[in-house]
Chain A
Amino acid sequence: MATAVAAGSQQKALGSGEADSHSGGGGAKYVAIAVFLAILTGLEIWVSYAGLSHGLEVALLIGMMIIKFVIVAAFFMHLQGDRPMLSWLFGFAILGALVLTIATVASVSTYTPETLDGTPQPVSTGESAGE
């Protein structure tokens, strides 16, 4: 309780000049954005069941995920219209996490199941084995 209040006060103290830029109103805009996000989620589910080629399916799903992520960050988290430094901070963190993921998965993919589990053969389904 006190933490939430303190956090808010701290943010206010850091400079709330941007507050007016995204203050109040905009209810209809937010509803429209939520409807668009819901439609995108529905499209994601359709794509996952549509039987598209693996590459196309993954590309579409990743693309729609990025669009949803950016929309929520820009409009609901008010990064659009806020201080650019905050966008840079958040963007840098996401980029760092992405680099961490790619680097780790790339290095781990060189290991075989034997090194991970100490067993000779993966026995999961053919599709999932070896990925």
Chain B
Amino acid sequence: MWAFLASECFFFGSLITTYFAFRGQSTSGPIPEDVFDIGFTSLSSFVLLMSSLTMVLAVSAAKRGDMSRTKAWLAATAAFGAVFIGGQIYEFTTFIAENLHIQTNLFGSSFFLLTGFHGAHVTVGILMLLTTIMIINTGYLTAEDSESIETIGLYWHFVDVVWIVIFTVVYLIPQ
């Protein structure tokens, strides 16, 4: 998993690099200042941050052998992730309504590419969490297999740290 996450560092590094390289180079609008709603995105960021807390609590419960609480925390993590994805869909819909499409300008292309791939990763994480809950329900995954849940946790936390970077460099740092 750590080797995979290392490769993901380069993947998201490339996307963030692309965003930086094209930053401020758009020759037509809309530009970030026209479309960003920092308050809304901050709320989404907070939700994703809290999902990391519920994930680490799920791992902690699994290591104690408390599979009931593990399932509850995993479900909470998936719910937070779903709220984040819902927020991203709303944000994308709003941007499109303001005539910012992926092909509109350099900002649109690099922004949708970067945040879209991150959203896809969160979605994969949600599916992994829900699948894990189902496996626990079947009794195939027990307290002895808590390392599996920790592995999924690593992926989830990585998605969170990537968003920490995206939130700062894309949304907060002015051009």
Contacts and interface: CB of A to CB of B under 8 A. Distances in A.
A57 B174 contact: yes
Contacts of B89: none
Contacts of B101: none
Contacts of A116: 22, 25, 106
A25 B164 CA distance: 26
A128 B33 contact: yes
A96 B9 CA distance: 8
Nearest to A33: B53
A55 B17 CA distance: 20
Contacts of B38: 45, 48-49
Contacts of A31: 53
Interface of B: 1-3, 5-7, 9-10, 12-14, 16-17, 20-29, 31-33, 38, 42, 45-46, 49-50, 52-53, 55-57, 60-61, 63-64, 106, 128, 131-132, 134-135, 140-141, 145, 147-154, 157-158, 160-161, 164-165, 167-169, 172-175
Interface of A: 1, 4-5, 7-9, 11-12, 16, 19, 23-27, 30-31, 33-34, 37-38, 41, 44-45, 47-49, 54, 57-58, 61-62, 64-65, 68-69, 72-73, 75-78, 86, 89-90, 92-94, 96-98, 100-101, 104-105, 108, 113, 116-117, 119, 121-125, 127-131
28 contacts: A5-B141, A7-B1, A7-B151, A8-B145, A8-B152, A11-B147, A30-B56, A48-B173, A62-B173, A64-B168, A69-B164, A76-B52, A76-B160, A77-B157, A90-B5, A92-B6, A100-B10, A104-B21, A117-B27, A122-B24, A122-B27, A124-B29, A125-B33, A128-B24, A128-B32, A129-B24, A131-B24, A131-B25
